[in-house]
């Protein structure tokens, strides 16, 4: 079956699974449903398992612009076939937190370019591209079991640098990366707590000069939320 035929079959299946109630539920969680059918992620995972790995189909699915098709694209693509140009194109096309998070954690973090993109995108002006940097970092902390601590120590420096970005989808991803790195192992747990404490101290200094400083508010939330989890009994028992 050709890629076009496979694409048509997949889109027909997605159309058949469309649900207005699910679509409304997605919208309540802040998901952009402008081009969505309302198909759940578990259902998409079942479809992806049946489809198997298919890079050409993934590219075709992405090009439809449909929400679920793009989620599915990240699930069926072959990380070894992904190019830097593709990553840049897809990241620039992110328009919803779930697409960003699913693609980064199902695909981008498994490519050879993952760490380079974390560094490059961490300074991006675009909110979704910047979220992609830290969502990828959060996924790497869980999935890249063989990576040395030095890779994540470098990411903690990026976390410290960007913790003051007050945009909601950015600061939540920065916090997510900080927490996941801190739960990776005992040494990184200590390093993440130190990073969070440094972020908080810098935020308090900013707030002392201007209580309304948005960078101070964002950094304070990132640090306090991370410290709450990293110092919890549940996390401490792991180490």
Residue among 76, 92, 136, 90 at smallest CA distance from 111: 136
Terminal alpha carbon distance of the chain: 51
- The tens place of each residue's pLDDT in the chain, 239 residues long, gives 899 999 999 999 999 999 999 999 999 999 999 999 999 999 999 999 999 999 999 999 999 999 999 999 999 999 999 999 999 999 999 999 999 999 999 999 999 999 999 999 999 999 999 999 999 999 999 999 999 999 999 999 999 999 999 999 999 999 999 999 999 999 999 999 999 999 999 999 887 767 778 888 999 999 999 999 999 999 999 88
Instruction: Give Cβ neighbours of residue 187 (< 8 Å, ≥ 6 apart).
Output: 149
Task: Please classify residue 67 by burial: count the beta carbons closer than 10 Å to its beta carbon, then call 0-12 exposed, 13-18 middle and 19+ buried.
Answer: buried
Q: What's the CA angle centered on 165, arms 135 and 67, to 5 degrees?
A: 40
The secondary structure of residue 121, as a DSSP letter, is H
What are the backbone angles phi and psi of residue 37, rounded to the nearest 5°?
A: -90, -25
What does pTM read for this prediction?
0.95
Instruction: Give Cβ neighbours of residue 182 (< 8 Å, ≥ 6 apart).
Output: 188, 189, 191, 192, 193, 196, 226, 229, 230, 235
């Amino acid at each position: 079956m050709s890629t076009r035929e496979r694409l048509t079959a997949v889109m027909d299946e997605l159309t058949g699974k469309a649900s207005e109630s699910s679509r409304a539920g997605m919208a309540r969680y802040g998901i952009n449903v402008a081009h969505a059918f309302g198909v759940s992620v578990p259902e998409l995972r079942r479809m992806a398992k049946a489809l198997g790995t298919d890079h050409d189909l993934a590219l075709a699915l992405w090009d439809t612009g449909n929400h679920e098709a793009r989620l599915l694209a990240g699930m069926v693509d072959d990380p070894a076939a992904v190019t830097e140009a593709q990553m840049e194109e897809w990241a620039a096309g992110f328009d919803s937190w779930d697409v960003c998070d699913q693609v980064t954690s199902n695909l981008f973090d498994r490519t050879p370019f993952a760490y380079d993109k974390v560094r490059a995108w961490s300074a991006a002006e675009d909110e979704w591209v910047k979220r992609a940097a830290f969502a990828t970092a959060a996924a790497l902390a869980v999935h890249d079991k063989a990576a040395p601590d030095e890779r994540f120590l470098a990411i903690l420096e990026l976390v410290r640098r960007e913790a003051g970005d007050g945009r909601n989808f950015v600061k939540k991803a920065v916090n997510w990366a900080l927490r996941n790195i801190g739960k990776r192992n005992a040494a990184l747990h200590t390093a993440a707590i130190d990073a969070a404490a440094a972020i908080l101290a810098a935020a308090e200094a900013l707030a002392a000069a201007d209580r309304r400083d948005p960078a101070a508010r964002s950094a304070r939330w990132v640090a306090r939320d991370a410290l709450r989890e990293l110092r919890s009994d549940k996390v401490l028992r792991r180490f």
